């Protein structure tokens, strides 16, 4: 009669190593904010934002930066992390400046309001546009991690291809190929979703 003896696997210290890496990353993030917030505020202000909008933009830039797959690889790359943060901040500031809510003050002059053209989009069109947005987000989420990062940085954050390549540690040509393939995948996904939801 054979007896089975189960032996506990020796602890390889993996959990401690992961904890140390996380602690080092969080410490680096704190130092990153401390070192670069002033410079990033200056970048946002130089793009024409007021103090409050510039502050919000810098916070958003740090949030976007930390979600990038390449963020952890830049822990010891001070210049690279600073350059990427400046590029993200600059693009977010430009996008924020383009918003009508920031670009023009709101005025409640009845004559001006009456002179504005009426929106041609009815409820049906608005609902269809909202559904398209939901489908697009689902399709973007289905992309691979690297393709999703390229789409987010190039198309949504409008960051230059060279900067994206530097942030992700790949060549600009590879960024272009990934973007091309991601667009094809998104088109296929959106088409399939539209056909699937057709009555």
In this predicted model, what pLDDT tens digit does every residue of 15-28 receive, in sequence order? 565 566 666 666 76
Confidence tier at 91 by pLDDT (50, 70, 90): confident
* Cα–Cα dist 108/93, whole Å: 27
Count Cα neighbours of 42 within 13 Å in the Cβ-side half-sphere.
4
pLDDT for res 100: 46
Over residues 40-60, mean pLDDT: 85
Does residue 141 carry a pLDDT above 70? yes
pLDDT for res 33: 74
């Amino acid at each position: 009669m054979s007896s089975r003896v189960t032996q506990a696997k020796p602890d390889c210290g993996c959990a401690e190593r992961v904890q140390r890496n996380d602690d080092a990353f969080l410490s680096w993030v704190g130092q990153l904010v401390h070192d670069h917030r002033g410079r990033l505020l200056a970048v946002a202000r130089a793009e024409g934002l007021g103090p409050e909008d510039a502050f919000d933009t810098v916070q958003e830039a740090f949030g976007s930066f930390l979600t990038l797959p390449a963020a952890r690889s830049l822990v010891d790359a001070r210049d690279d992390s600073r350059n990427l943060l400046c590029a993200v901040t600059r693009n977010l500031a430009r996008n924020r400046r383009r918003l009508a809510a920031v670009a023009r003050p709101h005025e409640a002059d009845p004559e001006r309001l009456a002179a504005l053209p009426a929106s041609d989009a009815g409820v049906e069109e608005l609902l269809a546009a909202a559904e398209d947005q939901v489908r697009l987000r689902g399709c973007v989420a289905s992309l691979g991690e690297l393709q999703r990062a390229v789409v987010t940085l190039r198309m949504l954050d409008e960051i230059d291809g060279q900067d994206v390549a530097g942030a992700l540690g790949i060549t600009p040509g590879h960024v272009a190929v990934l973007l091309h393939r991601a667009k094809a995948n998104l088109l296929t996904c959106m088409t399939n979703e539209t056909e699937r939801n057709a009555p």
